[in-house]
Amino acid sequence: MREKKKIIFWSLLFSIFLLLTFIFTLRTIHRYELWKDHEEYLRSVNKTVEEWMHINLISKRSGIPKDVIYTEIGIKESFTNSRKPLNKLCQDNNLNCTQVVALLNRGRI
């Protein structure tokens, strides 16, 4: 009986380890693809906001605090919203992405 509990414990622990490895691998792949697609922009000193950027990246690159960005856009701050690209956020909230990008770029200067 004791041996069976030991096997179940180690199996469960190994399963959790595999799941976490899978999640972090997907996250790394996603970040690499974003970097690969926009490498030239990310290496430059250009701080303009573009529609492919997510809120966290906009905040880090341009220095605009997240709460100001959410207020300017007019949407609620949330964990999922800060990781969605700006064009997806605009689409979900029926906003004109070109106007939102122009508004954020105007507010930055």
Whole-number Å distance between alpha carbons of 37 and 51: 13
pLDDT tens string for the chain (109 positions)? 788 999 999 999 999 999 999 999 999 998 899 888 888 888 888 888 888 998 988 888 888 888 888 888 888 888 888 888 998 999 988 999 999 889 888 865 4
Domain ranges of the chain: 2-37, 55-108
* Angstrom distances, CA of residue 52 to CA of 11, 32, 34, 55, 59: 41, 15, 9, 10, 14
pTM given for the model: 0.71
Task: Assign 45 to helix, strand or coil.
Answer: coil
pLDDT of residue 49: 87
